[in-house]
Structure 1
Amino acid sequence: MAVLTGGIKTYKSMTKEELIQELIMKSNQLEEMEKKSIQDQVGFRRLATMVRDSNDAITIQDLDGTITEWNRGAERMYGYSETEALGMNILDIVPDLSKEEAVGLIQQIKTGRPIDSLETKRVTKDKRILDVWLTITKLTDDNGRVTAVATTERDITERKQMEHKLKLVSMTDDMTGLYNRRGFRLLAEKLLLQAERNNNRLLLLYCDLDNLKVINDRFGHREGDQVIMDFVDILKNTFRKADIIARLGGDEFTVLVTGVKNLWSEQVIIKNLKEKISGHNEQERRSHPLEVSIGASYFNPVHPCTIDEFINRADNAMYKEKKKK
């Protein structure tokens, strides 16, 4: 048996019993090593099966974006078989609108900087755009150098569509389909910021249906609802899709008009709307003509204002007109 004595390897004789014990110990060590090797292999096979059969798209790419591994989840998600996908570049499944972002991620990986999971978009073989949740894992060699990248991509398209529908529901008026007060404020605030930044002018019309309560009380709410929908049709036929039409509630409506050139535009726009209302009354010849009080507020990017100031100015102008009637 070899032992160390003062740093020098020497040998001592062993009895038969000691030799047997030594051989048994070595045999047990080899057996444990074999068991661990088998367990590692089983664990690796299980992991490989999990990766292969995962519902998520799991891929491996080299640092140039060339795909070297492509699991069944990726086949189902993107429509490319493993044979088709291997050798493709990851940019081949990135839509044009996200390519700049993807190139930036590749560069970030090469520099070794950490990358957080993120929402992005991918494109399938049949050109469908998917929303995906992307997780990136850098693969390194024994020296710690990044040599490849593993990505896990989960399809969240249905979730995003549901979120969009819920957002629309929360921003729209049930009866008319127009934006409600919340939707109007969210969009108007963004437009005011853009107008100030890009030196654009805006016009806000605040409209109130006169005598709607009287119509409801005298002819019933069904007739009152018809008056509301008639006015909605007039608004839709008068203004462009770029303009924001909203029902703030009850008999109050707003229209945020974009692309306004000057103050003269205000008079032209209001005159056009009033002519459409008059034309409606003449055509329908109802016992209760559609009557609307209209106030306006002008947004000048040289002297910007808040959304509340913008709305209040138009609201006050509308009430001044209503009092004249």
Structure 2
Amino acid sequence: MNGYPGACCQGVFGFRPVKSGMESMVRAAAKKKSTAKKSTAKKSAAKKKTAAKKKKTVSRKKTLKAKVKAKRSGGKPAFKGSKPDLDGLGEILVRNSPDGIVAVDRDGTIRYLNSAAEKFLKSRDGKMIGQKFHYMVDPQRPQEATLAKTGRRDRVAEIRAVEAKLGREKIYIVSIHDITERANMEAQLRALSDVDPLTGLLNRRGFVVAASRQLTLAQRQGWGMSLFFLDLDGLKWINDEFGHLEGDQALIETGAILRKTVRRPDIIGRYAGDEFTILAFDSADRTDSADRIAERLRKNLSAHNERKRPDRKISFSIGVAHYSPGNTPSLDKLIDEADFKMYEEKRDKRCTR
């Protein structure tokens, strides 16, 4: 037989030639590889599609956030890209600040002011630019200033300044912060610290401060003055017999009698528990001398007691010290002298009972 030994067997038993089997295996491998490649390509395309969709969503969110920020900042975007636009952001902050912001040069001339500063200074439309800034500018410490009236009351502001440079030029950036409410509260607290809450008169501290000022003025102007020291008689007995509410009422009524007696410039105070003080000006014609004031006190006390039950009548003892122009006694010495004379009167009352 011609050919290689197994040639006849291939024809007889139907075996495929070796070459044909190899081709089949190659084709099968190629087909499998092609299928795998197509599958990988599909997966890659799906991933790319998902990534693109996600990127688009993120981009839309960023755009939306940028629009919201732009709307909140007055229509101008505060950021460019991923980095803040500090100049634009600073401009937005200054323009919309509730505090007044003023740029002042070394000559005190206003170079810029925001809308809040214009309201504080009662100006508009930049009319104050080029004018002088009339408040002290001290970078070392803040200042308090009373600004132009708004309605019926003044506005109180705290003014602070920092140095800055505009190119080569030195300027001051001044902030004006409204502290009106705080100033009013502090004034109320000061008033409360000087006023006796029961009678509404000055307390000891308030009386000493006011009377010291008046004595200094009297010495400068050559005025005479009289200091009265009064003690409510029997306050302890009233408290023990009728209770502290009745004792408080007796103090309130005594304060009312003193108010009714003295003139507006005179100073009245509740000096201690049952002690009261009056610093009264002597009139030039002596029509309101200390004796006349003491007489009015007793007259008003008598009129008050006429309307009271016998066990609710009040009385007080009075001592008076005088200040004459040319003398320089201290307030403490006047009080001590009037206090001593008051106790003399109280002792005389006890001796006559």
The answer, yes or no, to whether TM exceeds 0.5 is: yes
1:168 Cα deviation (Å)?
1.6
1:173 Cα deviation (Å)?
1.2
CA contact (8 A) 1:67 1:87 kept: no
How many matched pairs? Answer: 268
2:243 maps to what in 1?
220
Query: Identity of paired residues, percent?
Result: 34
Q: Does 1:51 align with 2:91?
A: no
1:167 maps to what in 2?
190
2:180 and 2:267 map into 1 onto residues whose CA distance is 27
Aligned ranges 1:210-249 → 2 under 5 Å: 210-249=233-272
| Cα distance change of structure 1 residues 91 and 316 upon mapping to structure 2, 3 Å threshold | farther
Cα RMSD between the aligned structures? 3.3
Q: Does 1:182 align with 2:205?
A: yes
Q: Does 1:87 align with 2:127?
A: yes
| Cα distance change of structure 1 residues 39 and 136 upon mapping to structure 2, 3 Å threshold | farther
Matched letter for residue 134 of structure 1 = I
Max Rg structure: 2
1:268 maps to what in 2?
292
1:132 and 1:225 map into 2 onto residues whose CA distance is 42
Matched letter for residue 300 of structure 1 = S
SS in 2 for 1:170: helix
1:306 maps to what in 2?
330
| Cα distance change of structure 1 residues 277 and 90 upon mapping to structure 2, 3 Å threshold | farther
1:319 and 1:185 map into 2 onto residues whose CA distance is 21
Matched letter for residue 323 of structure 1 = R
The correspondence for 2:147, drawn from 115, 119, 122, is 122
For residues 97-121 of structure 1, the C-alpha deviation after alignment (integer angstroms, 9 at most, x for no partner) is: xxxxx7584xxx7xxx977431111
1:202 and 1:90 map into 2 onto residues whose CA distance is 54
For residues 281-314 of structure 1, the C-alpha deviation after alignment (integer angstroms, 9 at most, x for no partner) is: 2233533422110011112231111121121111
The correspondence for 1:278, drawn from 279, 296, 302, is 302
Matched letter for residue 169 of structure 1 = L
| Cα distance change of structure 1 residues 184 and 89 upon mapping to structure 2, 3 Å threshold | farther
1:29 maps to what in 2?
none
1:32 maps to what in 2?
none
SS in 1 for 2:103: strand
1:292 maps to what in 2?
316
CA contact (8 A) 1:188 1:307 kept: yes
2:214 and 2:260 map into 1 onto residues whose CA distance is 22
Aligned ranges 1:181-200 → 2 under 5 Å: 181-200=204-223
Matched letter for residue 87 of structure 1 = K
SS in 1 for 2:325: coil
1:169 and 1:285 map into 2 onto residues whose CA distance is 34
| Cα distance change of structure 1 residues 114 and 159 upon mapping to structure 2, 3 Å threshold | closer
For residues 216-245 of structure 1, the C-alpha deviation after alignment (integer angstroms, 9 at most, x for no partner) is: 222222222222121111111111232211
| Cα distance change of structure 1 residues 271 and 189 upon mapping to structure 2, 3 Å threshold | same
1:121 and 1:72 map into 2 onto residues whose CA distance is 19
1:46 Cα deviation (Å)?
2.8
Q: What is the TM-score when the length of structure 2 is the normalising length?
A: 0.66
* Higher-RCO chain (CA-CA 8 Å, sequence separation at least 6): 1
Unaligned 5+ residue runs, structure 1? 1-37, 93-101
2:306 and 2:150 map into 1 onto residues whose CA distance is 56
| Cα distance change of structure 1 residues 66 and 114 upon mapping to structure 2, 3 Å threshold | closer
Unaligned 5+ residue runs, structure 2? 1-80
Aligned ranges 1:18-57 → 2 under 5 Å: 42-57=85-100
CA contact (8 A) 1:66 1:87 kept: no
1:58 Cα deviation (Å)?
0.8
1:218 and 1:293 map into 2 onto residues whose CA distance is 21
For residues 122-157 of structure 1, the C-alpha deviation after alignment (integer angstroms, 9 at most, x for no partner) is: 02554541111112456776665x6x6542111111
